[in-house]
Structure 1
């Protein structure tokens, strides 16, 4: 017997009166959150949902997400969290691909018309039999009228008992299906077991240090593996208070950190960049972050310059980790108790092995760059109903990640770049991250993204998309000349485009695919 729902149930048994969730003006104790999850489980069972059935969830960071998530697990079903920015046709694809039998969807009003999109998708899906519409707090007051025929969560849960005997599941049973972003082809569902998710949460709890009580600010979307494991599951396993922020903005995050005495923050690099940006220059970061005991970065390689600035401003080093949906996600981490190494994603976490391999799966020589391959308790079963896609990335328990890295003599790993982001210019391999690190050291550069664009003779040429630092008026020619004097001749960008902002996905990761498409649309240089 192993069920991920134990994360919540144990905390509800040991600290029932402690605040588990802060969502706007609403608070839930562990007892109340567990009771809500129990009602959801009873509802699902009453509608014929059985062990192993898939139940989809579209919900921003509000109290309904953990309540429904753990309720699905209690019922022995499999949680399928969906990106809240998906449109109806995309939702319908996910519901069909996952064989979802039920769908919980949040209605957020005009700013997030998710309920309408979800209801339209539900109508286009044959196998999904139950649709539950959720609202919360202020969103409930501002939400559009429920689509005709949709069942509201309030009506569905009315009369459902709050106690529930969790369905017996085994370690190898599926707990969660997390869909990849679909950067190559249509999104695929990474099928993760109760053992994958439980061990990853407990490993994180051990890594982050056991304290009497943490307060997590969760501004990363909970549908993503980063926030889901590193903050929600780890936080509940440790009896922490989770402060839910539906949409990240730097000023709001700093205000919550200060007023609610937040001790744990996790973000992607662009979030740390935003915290250091001119938009919050009137706020004292050292005061707002004074209660932070740990700051975690993941989701993309953290630029050394951002790490340096944050440490200098806040007096706290950022602990960088690495993983992906297919690894639950924690695979490496920069451990507490030792000096942080800016630029490094740390070492493999407990129970996980890392190899750096060549395209034929053979390990590369020490000191050489290779593709990260992961083996351990965190690696997925495979892609749901996609044995061919699974076979492409998995062999003998090892998972190829698509990320290139090097390793120092102490075993610390350093991301070089994504294999798909590497630029081949005139036969030379060029790694965009290396160029971005150099560009970010220029005082006029606030944010940088480097991609390859088509070139008639070189195959690819190097282009940098730049957000200027506040007040900077540097020109394209000036920045290119500086880069040329700083980098090898085959590395420096020949083209620079200044933008007010760079495209990002829901987790704050820069969308280089869009930038590459923009460069390709401009034609060969």
Structure 2
């Protein structure tokens, strides 16, 4: 006989397979059609505000610029399936090419302007875009990378340029803008966006996400089986309408695209912030009264360190921490600093276009679970349209309540695969996606993330690929063997280098650390330091026993 949660429609079969109901409303529109329809519907609403300058942008104006950009892209023979890349920080025009790409059925694949030349080389060579929209300061590095990979992509500059087309040319009136309609996407499982994520090989992979997944996951977040009337009454009392969202991620991140799509669907306003500042964030809350705040752990820590108790925070009704986990200590500090806010819980992966588990404020039962102090560290309950199993990593057996194992899932939200790359080893023999995360769940189907099987780990929301750092370490003449592990801290995992030295070399751990610091981007530095070891434990097949090494570090044995 199947078990069923008392607080939801989640069920579990006798073989410990967790099932959820189908998605509440089946998606019928592509991302482009959805955005076009809802931007027209909410045309008089404020779509976005430049947080620093206060400049406002209505959905009507945003739609006009997006339509013109789409038409100018069509004039350049951009067609279905072509990849367009964004390489930019946040500003009022940053989302325009993103939206326009969806209008014409092309694929968006963004990178971040902070990337190193090596990272840009690999990512751009992976998707080989037809057009790159970028900032003036990123042009020199992009020109060099495009030459290295022999790619004739057009560079469009947000700002002034004597050499490349300025983005302002895409905003000029177009003869066909009257009566424009987005391209119709017949199969919503077609790829709409490529997001990048690192795996155990150390090389970032392009994750192909469908129109169905984006729109479907947005529906999961917005709709609920058990409406929370108390929360909605609080919203009417404390917030300004339309609701305003405060977040800092660029469109390289899945969360930024999801926030854009959701805000368009609801007619809500996004605060556009180019950079994060822990002191300035309080000014934005005081000035713009956002109801929804979304930050990474490191941003939360910095913001709390600069707390201003005189700021009226009653408007903040939902506070979500994204990118990686945060300690219980800081969760309690958030609750104390924002007493009116629902502390959002969630866990997801790019491979499923967002949440795998969550607790949302507009669901009464979710709010009841969230109010339980014993569940403060939960990442939520399963989402609709997805099946789950937790597998013992030693035996391969599916386990039940409060038993740890790797989470594996099946869903129509799962990626279409990796861009121009085999993804078969990401699934088990029965077709379940292997998340690489060690979890357990309780009798209410509240999930808890314990550890990662994957070698890659996150620092401040950025993936750190050990193999890349290990290769850099091996470039030092004194290094014989190198292993990089992630040491848990409040802002993610700090890389630590475990090094076996070549015979006859005398060098300090600090010298090795400095050697790496001079060769990698700032976020990839060995923040947990370097430790010298005599040997590296190996499996019978010759693979490094990475988890055992990490455990030895945590136990003080190294």
Aligned pair 1:189/2:206, yes or no?
A: yes
The answer for the alignment partner of 2:193 in structure 1 is: 176
Alignment equivalent of 1:419, drawn from 453, 464, 468: 453
In 2, distance between residues paired with 1:299 and 1:402? 16
The answer for the alignment partner of 1:152 in structure 2 is: 166
The 5-angstrom pairing of residues 236-385 of structure 1 reads: 236-277=264-305, 280-281=306-307, 283-284=308-309, 287-315=311-339, 316-336=341-361, 337=364, 338-339=367-368, 340=370, 341-359=375-393, 361-385=396-420
The answer for the alignment partner of 2:469 in structure 1 is: none
SS of the residue 1:81 aligns to: coil
In 2, distance between residues paired with 1:410 and 1:90? 42
Alignment equivalent of 1:519, drawn from 530, 548, 553: 530
Judged with a 3 Å threshold, the aligned counterparts in structure 2 of structure 1 residues 260 and 376 are, in CA distance, closer, same or farther, namely same
The answer for the alignment partner of 1:202 in structure 2 is: 219
Q: Note the C-alpha offset of 1:90.
A: 2.8
Say whether the 8 Å CA contact 2:352–2:415 is kept in structure 1: yes
Q: Note the C-alpha offset of 1:514.
A: 3.3
In 2, distance between residues paired with 1:128 and 1:331? 39
Judged with a 3 Å threshold, the aligned counterparts in structure 2 of structure 1 residues 363 and 179 are, in CA distance, closer, same or farther, namely same
The answer for the alignment partner of 1:223 in structure 2 is: 252
SS of the residue 2:530 aligns to: helix
In 1, distance between residues paired with 2:456 and 2:194? 29
Say whether the 8 Å CA contact 1:98–1:384 is kept in structure 2: yes
Judged with a 3 Å threshold, the aligned counterparts in structure 2 of structure 1 residues 450 and 243 are, in CA distance, closer, same or farther, namely closer
The answer for the alignment partner of 2:146 in structure 1 is: 122
Q: Note the C-alpha offset of 1:103.
A: 1.5
In 1, distance between residues paired with 2:133 and 2:534? 44
SS of the residue 1:5 aligns to: helix
In 2, distance between residues paired with 1:505 and 1:237? 37
SS of the residue 1:330 aligns to: strand
In 2, distance between residues paired with 1:405 and 1:312? 28
Judged with a 3 Å threshold, the aligned counterparts in structure 2 of structure 1 residues 347 and 115 are, in CA distance, closer, same or farther, namely same
Say whether the 8 Å CA contact 2:243–2:269 is kept in structure 1: yes
SS of the residue 1:185 aligns to: coil
SS of the residue 1:295 aligns to: strand
TM-score of the superposition, structure 1-length normalised? 0.75
Judged with a 3 Å threshold, the aligned counterparts in structure 2 of structure 1 residues 56 and 448 are, in CA distance, closer, same or farther, namely closer
Structure 1 range deviating more: 354-363 or 325-334: 354-363
In 1, distance between residues paired with 2:206 and 2:314? 39
Say whether the 8 Å CA contact 1:202–1:237 is kept in structure 2: no
In 2, distance between residues paired with 1:411 and 1:120? 51
SS of the residue 1:204 aligns to: helix
TM-score of the superposition, structure 2-length normalised? 0.71
The 5-angstrom pairing of residues 462-481 of structure 1 reads: none
Aligned pair 1:402/2:432, yes or no?
A: no
Say whether the 8 Å CA contact 1:101–1:128 is kept in structure 2: yes
Judged with a 3 Å threshold, the aligned counterparts in structure 2 of structure 1 residues 400 and 63 are, in CA distance, closer, same or farther, namely same
Structure 1 range deviating more: 355-364 or 149-158: 355-364
Say whether the 8 Å CA contact 1:103–1:128 is kept in structure 2: no
Alignment equivalent of 1:80, drawn from 80, 91, 109: 109
Q: Note the C-alpha offset of 1:56.
A: 1.0
In 1, distance between residues paired with 2:200 and 2:312? 36
Q: Note the C-alpha offset of 1:373.
A: 1.6
In 2, distance between residues paired with 1:15 and 1:97? 37
Judged with a 3 Å threshold, the aligned counterparts in structure 2 of structure 1 residues 419 and 514 are, in CA distance, closer, same or farther, namely farther
For structure 2, list consecutive stretches of 5 or more residues without a partner in the other structure: 1-27, 236-240, 458-484, 501-512, 514-519, 536-557
The answer for the alignment partner of 1:235 in structure 2 is: 263
In 1, distance between residues paired with 2:119 and 2:140? 13
In 2, distance between residues paired with 1:226 and 1:382? 19
Judged with a 3 Å threshold, the aligned counterparts in structure 2 of structure 1 residues 57 and 293 are, in CA distance, closer, same or farther, namely same
Judged with a 3 Å threshold, the aligned counterparts in structure 2 of structure 1 residues 448 and 57 are, in CA distance, closer, same or farther, namely closer
Aligned residue pairs, count: 436
SS of the residue 2:156 aligns to: strand
Judged with a 3 Å threshold, the aligned counterparts in structure 2 of structure 1 residues 331 and 218 are, in CA distance, closer, same or farther, namely same
Aligned pair 1:22/2:34, yes or no?
A: no
In 2, distance between residues paired with 1:185 and 1:73? 30
In 1, distance between residues paired with 2:188 and 2:155? 29
Judged with a 3 Å threshold, the aligned counterparts in structure 2 of structure 1 residues 348 and 514 are, in CA distance, closer, same or farther, namely farther
The answer for the alignment partner of 2:38 in structure 1 is: 11
Aligned pair 1:93/2:105, yes or no?
A: no
Judged with a 3 Å threshold, the aligned counterparts in structure 2 of structure 1 residues 276 and 522 are, in CA distance, closer, same or farther, namely farther
The answer for the alignment partner of 1:37 in structure 2 is: 66
